[in-house]
Amino acid sequence: MVVLPGFVGRGENGDTTLLGRGGSDLTALFLAHRLSARCVLVKDVDGLYTSDPACSGVRASRFAHVSYETAARVGGSVVQLKAVLFAESNRLRFSIMSIGSGKATEVGPFSDRLDDTETYPEPLRVALLGCGTVGGGVYERLAAMPSLFTVIGVGTRTGEGPRAIGVPTNLITSDLEALVERPCDVVVELIGGTKRAASLIESSLRLGRHVVTANVGLIAADGDALETLAAESGASLRYNAAVGAVLPALETIKRAKLAGPFKGFSGVLSGACNFVLDRLAAGANMSTAVRGAQDLGYAEAHPQVNFSGIDSAQKVMLLARAAFGASPTLDSISRKGIEGLNTQKLKQAEQRGEAVRLVARCYRSEKGIEASVEPVALPQLPT
C-alpha cells in the first residue's frame, strides 16, 4: 500500500500553503500504472451516476461499469478529467467508491452498464416546523432534493417567511399541531422557544415520528425526558445541530469517548459572539455589531441569550451529557458574557496578536462536573 501526503507544503513564512488542486486522482492512477497496482479512488459518493444524485430532480442511476468516454463526460467534480484521459491512454482500469459503501463504479474499456440491483426507497416525508433564517434554509435544501425528501407541510406563525422563499401556498399552515399529525416520517422543529416546541416534539415522538431539532435550550432542559420518550416510541431524536451547527461537536465527543474516560473539553461555541467581538475590536459599537450579525443571519432577532453566555452554557450541558453521561445545571455553570466588555481592551488584544473569544470549559474534578463560560484572550490564528 502506498500512502502519499496531500498537495500541501510550507510557504516562505513557514505557513501551510496549498500547492495546487486537481492532481490527486492523476497521481493515484500514475502510481498504479507504474506499480502495476489496482487503483481505487475514494470519494464521498459510491460511484458515477447518470446525473447528480443529490441535486437532480430526476432519479439518478449508478453505473456498475462505465467507459472512459462516459466517465469523462459525466464525471464532473467526482473524478478529474485529466485522470480519466491518462487512464484511457494507458488502458488502466480503476474504481470509484466511498468508504464503507460496498458499491463501486468500474471505469475502463467497458460498455456502459447501470447497476440493475439498485433499489430506491421512497422519499422521506418531512414536516417542517418553522421557516425563519434556519428553517428557510432547511426548506430550500430539502426542496432541492425531491428524490430524497418530500416536504408535506411548513408550519409558520405568519406565513411571511415561507412565501418569501417560494414555498407553495398549499404547504403553508399555522396549525402546527395538526401538521405533525399528518402522515410523515420526520418532523424538523425550528420554531425556537421551549413550551410549544416541547409539546410539538412530544406529540411527534408519541406518534412514532423521528424528530430533528436545533433547539439547544429545550434539549438542555428536557433532553433526558425526550430521549426516554423517543426510546419508548421507537423513534429517534436528533439534535446534533444544536451544538456547533455543521461542526460535528457531539459526534466528536462520542467518538473520543471510545478511546477511554473523558477528562474534559473546551471550545468556542458561539459564532455570533465571534462576529460581534471582531466588530467591536475593529471599532464598532455594540448595537452596530449586533445588527450586522443579525443582518447576516449569525444572530437571531433576540440575541440576548447568545451575548449573555446562556447559549454557550446550554451547549456545554449537551456536550457534558455526551461526554460524562451527566451534565451540570445551568445555574451551576460559572458564566460571564460579552456584554459590557471594554472595547479598548479588545483593540489592545488585537494589537498584541490576540482575539477575545467566549470560551466554554467543562471538566470532571473531585467535586464533580465543573463548567464555565467566559471571555478569554487567545492567540490569533495566521490567515
Q: Note the pLDDT of residue 144.
A: 86
List the grid coordinates of 40: 481505487
Q: Which domains does the chain have, with CATH numbers?
A: 8-114 (3.40.1160.10), 124-242 (3.40.50.720), 249-379 (3.30.360.10)
**Residue length, the chain?**
383
C-alpha cell of 346?
479588545
Helix (H, G, I), strand (E, B) or coil at 369: strand
H or E element, residue 153? strand 149-155
Q: Round to whole Å and give the CA distance between 249 and 205.
A: 24
pLDDT at 54 (0 to 100): 67
C-alpha cell at 236: 429517534
Rounded to an integer, what distance in angstroms lies between the CA atom of residue 49 and that of residue 112?
11
Angstrom distance (rounded) from CA 320 to CA 371: 9
Answer yes or no: are the C-beta atoms of 49 and 60 closer than 8 Å: yes
Q: How many CA atoms lie within 13 A of 125 on its CB side?
A: 11
Backbone angles phi, psi at 201, to 5 degrees: -65, -45
Residues 104, 118 contacting (CB under 8 angstroms): no
Contacts (Cβ under 8 Å, ≥6 apart) of 23: 7, 80
Tens place of pLDDT for every residue, the chain, 383 residues? 766 655 566 777 777 665 555 578 888 898 899 999 999 999 888 899 987 776 645 567 889 999 999 999 988 879 989 999 999 999 999 999 998 778 899 999 999 999 877 666 788 999 999 998 889 999 998 998 887 899 999 999 888 888 889 999 999 999 999 999 999 999 999 998 889 999 999 999 999 999 999 999 999 999 999 999 999 999 999 999 899 877 889 989 988 888 888 899 999 999 889 999 999 998 888 889 989 988 887 777 678 888 999 999 999 999 999 999 998 999 999 999 998 888 888 988 988 999 999 999 999 999 999 999 999 999 987 65
C-alpha cell at 44: 464521498
| Cα 315 to Cα 270: distance, rounded to the nearest angstrom | 9
Cell of 15: 505557513
What percentage of the chain's residues is helix, strand, coil (to nearest 5)?
40, 20, 40
0.85 surpassed by pTM: no
| Cα dist from 176 to 29, 148, 150, 156, 216, whole Å | 54, 23, 17, 7, 20
Report d(CA 128, CA 176) in Å as an integer: 9
Q: What is the predicted pLDDT for the residue at 8?
A: 61
CA dihedral of residues 74, 75, 80, 83 (deg, nearest 10): -80
pLDDT for position 121: 72
* Secondary structure letter of residue 325 according to DSSP: S
Return the CA Rg of the chain: 25
